[in-house]
C-alpha cells in the first residue's frame, strides 16, 4: 500500500503539470485558435482524467483489500448521485457517439451512502458499458424502487459476455475476451471496485448477458432508508456532489497566492493559470523559501505541496500557523498524496483544504474566492 501511494504521488506530479498547462491554454487561446484546437484539447482533457482515474482506482483496490477505506455515509438521494456521475462520464459517451438513455422513478430514493463512493459505482458501471460498446451504440441507465431496494441497472448493446466470464467478471484484474486487442485499455479493476463498494454499503451486484455480441446488463441494489431515518437534506446532498454556486472573480486581483512546490513544471503551470485569472503569484520550490515569502510578501492564500525535501508541507503549514501572518492565511494542500489518512493529517497540520493532483482548477479558484 505504501508503494502504491508513492507510485500515485509520482504519477500525479506530471499529471498536475499537464492538467494546469491545458487549463492555461484554454485561457490564452483566441476564439479562432480555440476552434481549431478544440478536438485535441478535448482529447487531452479526457486522457488526463482517464489517467487520474486509473491511479485512483488502483489505490482504492489496494485500500479495500486491506480494509482501509472508511465510508462517510449520510442520507443521500440516489437519483442526484446518478445524474452527477453521468455528467462526469458524458465526454466519454459523446466521444464514442453513444445514445445514452436515463430512466429514474418519480419517488425519491434515499440511501445511507458515501456520496463520493456511490458516484464512483455509477461512473465505473457506465464507463465499463461505454468502453465495451462499439461507437454509436446504446446505453441505458435506470434507477427503480423494488422491494425495499434502490435498483440501478446499466445496460448496453455491446459485445456481451460468455457464460464463463459472467462468473468471474467481478474479480480483480479480470477483463473479458472482448479486450484482447487492449484497444480500450484499463486495468480490469473497475467492476471489482463496484462490487466491493456496493457490499460495503450493504448492497449486492449482479450481471447478465445473453452471450457474446448480445450486450450486457449490470445491476447494483442498495437498501433504501426507512421512514424512521433522519430527515434528508436535499441541499446538503447537492453540496456534497460538488454543485457549484456562481462566484464573482472580483476578488482575484486583490488576492496574493503563494505556490510552494518542488516540482518546477507543476508549480509554473499552476502559477501561470492563476496569473491568467488575475491573481498575484509568487513561487517557492522548497519549504524554507515558502516561509520566507510568506513572511515578507504576506499572501492571502498558500498552495503547498506535501512531499518536498528537507521541509515537507505539513511542517510548512505548522510553521505558518505559528506566525502572526499565517493565522488567517488560507492554506490549501495541493499534493499527490490522496489517501483519507493524508487528508486527515493535512487538516491536523493546519491546512484548510486538501486537493489531490491533478486539481480541477475551477474548484481551486472557488476555494480561493470563497475566503
- Do 286 and 202 share a structural domain? no
- Do 87 and 58 share a structural domain? no
- Number of domains present in the structure of the chain: 2
The whole-number pLDDT of residue 180 equals 36
- Do 205 and 140 share a structural domain? yes
220: pLDDT strictly greater than 90: yes
The whole-number pLDDT of residue 254 equals 59
Contact (Cβ atoms closer than 8 angstroms) between residue 247 and residue 369: yes
102: pLDDT strictly greater than 60: yes
Contact (Cβ atoms closer than 8 angstroms) between residue 351 and residue 303: no
298: pLDDT strictly greater than 60: yes
The whole-number pLDDT of residue 301 equals 96
The whole-number pLDDT of residue 204 equals 96
For residue 140, give the 3-state DSSP assignment. strand
pLDDT tier for residue 371 given thresholds of 50, 70 and 90: low
Q: Return the bridge partners of 139, or none.
A: 100, 156
Task: Give the domain extent around 265.
Answer: 1-69+246-371
- Do 340 and 314 share a structural domain? yes
pLDDT tier for residue 233 given thresholds of 50, 70 and 90: very low
The whole-number pLDDT of residue 235 equals 39
Q: How far apart are CA 158 and CA 133, in angstroms?
A: 4
Q: Which of 223, 240, 257 is the last residue of a domain?
A: 240
Q: Which of 192, 214, 240 is the last residue of a domain?
A: 240
Q: How far apart are CA 298 and CA 286, in angstroms?
A: 17
Neighbour count for residue 264 (Cβ, 10 Å): 11
Mean pLDDT of all residues in 186-199: 81
Report percent pLDDT > 90 for the chain.
Answer: 45
Q: How far apart are CA 14 and CA 358, in angstroms?
A: 8
The whole-number pLDDT of residue 217 equals 96
Helix (H) or strand (E) run with residue 99 in it: strand 99-104
CA Rg value for the chain: 22
Minimum mean pLDDT range among 136-145, 221-230, 334-343: 221-230
- Do 96 and 1 share a structural domain? no
The whole-number pLDDT of residue 173 equals 57
The whole-number pLDDT of residue 181 equals 39
The whole-number pLDDT of residue 172 equals 64
103: pLDDT strictly greater than 90: yes
Q: How far apart are CA 101 and CA 21, in angstroms?
A: 34
Contact (Cβ atoms closer than 8 angstroms) between residue 86 and residue 98: no
Q: How far apart are CA 293 and CA 256, in angstroms?
A: 11
The whole-number pLDDT of residue 236 equals 35
pTM, entire model: 0.59
Report percent pLDDT > 70 for the chain.
Answer: 85
- Do 197 and 121 share a structural domain? yes
- Do 269 and 309 share a structural domain? yes
For residue 268, give the 3-state DSSP assignment. helix
CATH number (domain holding residue 217): 3.30.565.10
Q: How far apart are CA 303 and CA 20, in angstroms?
A: 14
- With helix as H, strand as E and coil as C, how does 340-365 read? HHHHHHHHHHCCCEEEECCCCHHHHH
Neighbour count for residue 5 (Cβ, 10 Å): 18
136: pLDDT strictly greater than 60: yes
Mean pLDDT of all residues in 141-163: 93
Mean pLDDT of all residues in 66-78: 84
- Do 159 and 95 share a structural domain? yes
- Do 319 and 264 share a structural domain? yes
pLDDT tier for residue 5 given thresholds of 50, 70 and 90: low
82: pLDDT strictly greater than 50: yes
Minimum mean pLDDT range among 48-52, 94-98, 175-179, 335-339: 175-179
- Do 88 and 192 share a structural domain? yes
- Do 276 and 149 share a structural domain? no
What burial class does residue 328 get, using C-beta atoms within 10 Å of its C-beta: 0-12 exposed, 13-18 middle, 19+ buried?
exposed
Q: How far apart are CA 286 and CA 290, in angstroms?
A: 6
Contact (Cβ atoms closer than 8 angstroms) between residue 217 and residue 209: yes
Mean pLDDT of all residues in 220-239: 58
313: pLDDT strictly greater than 60: yes
Mean pLDDT of all residues in 186-201: 83
> What's the mean per-residue pLDDT of the chain?
83
Minimum mean pLDDT range among 108-112, 230-234, 333-337, 362-366: 230-234
Residue among 114, 266, 127 nearest 185 (CA): 127
Cα 78-80-83 angle, rounded to 5 deg = 110
Residue among 47, 62, 71 nearest 8 (CA): 62
Amino acid at each position: 500500500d505504501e508503494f502504491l501511494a508513492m507510485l500515485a504521488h509520482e504519477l500525479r506530479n506530471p499529471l498536475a503539470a499537464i492538467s494546469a498547462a491545458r487549463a492555461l491554454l484554454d485561457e490564452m487561446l483566441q476564439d479562432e485558435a480555440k476552434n481549431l484546437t478544440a478536438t485535441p484539447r478535448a482529447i487531452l482533457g479526457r486522457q488526463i482524467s482517464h489517467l487520474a482515474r486509473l491511479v485512483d482506482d488502483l489505490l482504492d483496490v489496494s485500500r479495500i483489500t486491506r480494509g482501509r477505506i472508511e465510508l462517510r455515509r449520510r442520507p443521500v438521494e440516489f437519483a442526484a448521485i446518478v445524474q452527477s456521475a453521468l455528467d462526469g462520464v458524458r465526454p466519454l459517451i459523446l466521444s464514442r457517439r453513444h445514445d445514452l438513455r436515463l430512466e429514474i422513478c418519480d419517488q425519491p430514493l434515499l440511501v445511507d451512502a458515501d456520496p463520493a463512493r456511490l458516484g464512483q459505482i455509477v461512473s465505473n458501471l457506465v464507463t465499463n458499458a461505454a468502453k465495451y460498446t462499439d461507437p454509436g451504440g446504446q446505453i441505458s441507465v435506470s434507477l427503480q424502487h423494488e422491494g425495499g431496494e434502490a435498483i440501478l441497472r446499466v445496460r448496453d448493446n455491446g459485445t456481451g459476455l460468455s457464460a464463463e466470464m459472467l462468473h468471474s467478471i467481478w474479480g480483480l484484474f479480470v477483463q473479458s475476451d472482448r479486450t484482447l486487442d487492449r484497444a480500450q485499455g484499463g486495468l480490469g479493476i473497475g467492476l471489482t471496485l463496484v462490487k466491493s463498494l456496493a457490499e460495503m454499503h450493504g448492497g449486492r451486484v449482479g450481471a447478465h448477458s445473453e452471450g457474446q455480441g448480445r450486450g450486457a446488463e449490470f445491476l447494483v441494489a442498495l437498501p433504501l432508508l426507512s421512514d424512521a431515518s433522519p430527515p434528508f437534506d436535499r441541499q446538503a446532498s447537492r453540496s456534497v456532489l460538488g454543485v457549484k454556486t456562481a462566484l464573482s472573480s472580483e476578488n482575484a486581483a486583490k488576492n496574493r497566492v503563494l505556490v510552494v512546490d518542488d516540482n518546477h513544471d507543476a508549480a509554473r503551470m499552476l502559477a501561470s493559470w492563476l496569473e491568467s485569472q488575475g491573481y498575484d503569484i509568487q513561487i517557492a520550490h522548497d519549504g524554507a523559501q515558502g516561509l520566507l515569502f510568506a513572511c515578507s510578501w504576506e499572501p492571502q492564500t498558500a498552495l503547498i505541496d506535501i512531499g518536498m525535501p528537507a521541509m515537507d508541507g505539513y511542517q510548512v503549514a505548522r510553521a505558518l500557523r505559528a506566525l502572526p501572518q499565517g493565522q488567517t492565511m488560507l492554506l490549501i494542500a495541493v499534493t499527490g498524496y490522496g489517501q483519507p489518512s493524508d487528508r486527515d493529517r493535512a487538516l491536523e497540520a493546519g491546512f484548510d483544504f486538501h486537493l489531490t493532483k491533478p486539481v480541477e482548477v475551477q474548484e481551486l479558484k472557488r476555494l480561493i474566492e470563497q475566503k
